[in-house]
Amino acid sequence: MNNIFGTDGVRGKANTGYITPENAMKLAVSVINYYANTNHKTVNTKFTVVIGKDTRLSGYMLEPALTSGFIAAGADVVLLGPVPTPTVAFMTRSLRADFGVMISASHNLYYDNGIKFFNSNGFKLSLKDEINISDIFHNSQDLVDPEHMGKAKRLDDAPGRYIEFVKNSFPKNLSLFDVKIVIDTANGAAYKIAPQVFWELGAEIIKIGAEPDGLNINKACGATDTALLQKTVTAQNADIGIALDGDADRLIIVTEEGEVLDGDYVIATIATDWLETKKLTSKNIVATKMSNIGLERYLNKIGLDLSRCEVGDKHVLDKMLGISAQIGGEKSGHIIPIDYSSTGDGLIAALQILAYIQRKKIKTSDIKTLYTPFPQEFMNIPQIIEISDQKTIDLIERVKDQILNNTGRIIIRKSGTENLTRIMIESENKNDIIRAIEEIKKTFIL
């Protein structure tokens, strides 16, 4: 049966495919039908669903559609409004809800949207759950009798609850009273919450990307486009720049010198801080196959082990739970500090970076000295390339053997959210990477 879920929920262009009001309603009913059958609940025992969204225009369409579907299937709905994705995971646990829903296409532009689900523990659904829900979606859904329909209510204090939760991840003996922060919220879900968190901890705040209009989410701002943040940090003589994406589950750091520190540096910094402050009970750290070899060598040097997994925060979490890791993440900035959050949380990760800087009394740029990354280059091919195709297999072997001399890496993978094939080349020798790129362009006639 066709699985309607991608790497991170049900995704697509708004008002097309699965991202229409009709299909959102069907999806909501399918979820309740599946869980009612799985948990053997009766119509007299209602489910509770928590729904949050980011700031994109189509959220106004999907939120009531999903709500209608859940109510029609007999579930009560709690509406949070615009909040970061980790807020939904947190509030699902806090309210003892049966599951949570986040309406967001994360780092994509406004015309895309998505529907992400969390179970009662705040973790994303398993592949088995997704397949079973998809099976119901493609067949028939059962609605309840009128007397058993659910209700909906809006929870106005959810942002405040989440702010307090996030602040509790910052050490009580530290403050941000001498820190000047430029925060870029990508015109997204954290546009109110993020500045409030850092201000309440004492920082001086300069906001950019904090005026959402439904159409400007992630547009020339946020974690996927840091040019404005870099410029603002240096112009304002700020101590640090913090970039989130549209649903605030990603974090990218900009130093006071205007340089970008990606998710690998965030992982290295948090691991170092938690090791030095004896918060680590496990030596295991998780990253994806895209993370830099330099990060792996650094973690090994300080006595930690790096385990790699496939790209996607769901894969990161599965690996973390399997080996009892406390820190895991992606180069793109998805960081899961599992002692605090069951999903990627850009704000909690940012506070761990600030805690390290304040405790060590260093500049943000000093984080760069933790390790020297291998040169890496990324490129996108605007088509889906079959990884198992013989031409692709031959290319990988040719690049590894003849160009990278088996000392570097080439990774080719399909995008989980866009109609692209993503390629990463890594080597100690920058010239080898340039030669590898030319070989790729020649192979795929780019």
Q: Distance between CA 122 and CA 135 in Å, rounded?
A: 23
Q: Distance between CA 184 and CA 201 in Å, rounded?
A: 17
- CA-closest candidate to residue 98, choices 80, 125, 72: 125
The structure tokens listed for 12 are 């697509």
- CA-closest candidate to residue 11, choices 431, 419, 391: 419
Give the bridge partners for 124, in sequence order: 118
Q: Distance between CA 306 and CA 331 in Å, rounded?
A: 14
Which member of 30, 58, 106, 169 is catalytic? Answer: 106
Q: Can 175 be counted among the known catalytic residues?
A: no
Q: Distance between CA 150 and CA 419 in Å, rounded?
A: 38
Q: In what order do the strands lie in the sheet with 284-288?
A: 305-309, 284-288, 327-329, 335-337
- Residue 309's φ and ψ, nearest 5 degrees, are -145, 180
Q: Distance between CA 237 and CA 8 in Å, rounded?
A: 37
For residue 275, the one-letter residue type is L
Give the bridge partners for 421, in sequence order: 381, 414
What count of other Cβ atoms lies within 10 Å of the Cβ of residue 156? 10
- CA-closest candidate to residue 330, choices 299, 301, 309: 309
Give the bridge partners for 52, in sequence order: 81, 102
* 97 touches 78 (CB < 8 A): yes
For residue 330, the one-letter residue type is E
For CA atoms 396, 400, 401, 403, give the dihedral sign: positive
* 249 touches 86 (CB < 8 A): yes
Provide the annotated active-site residues.
106
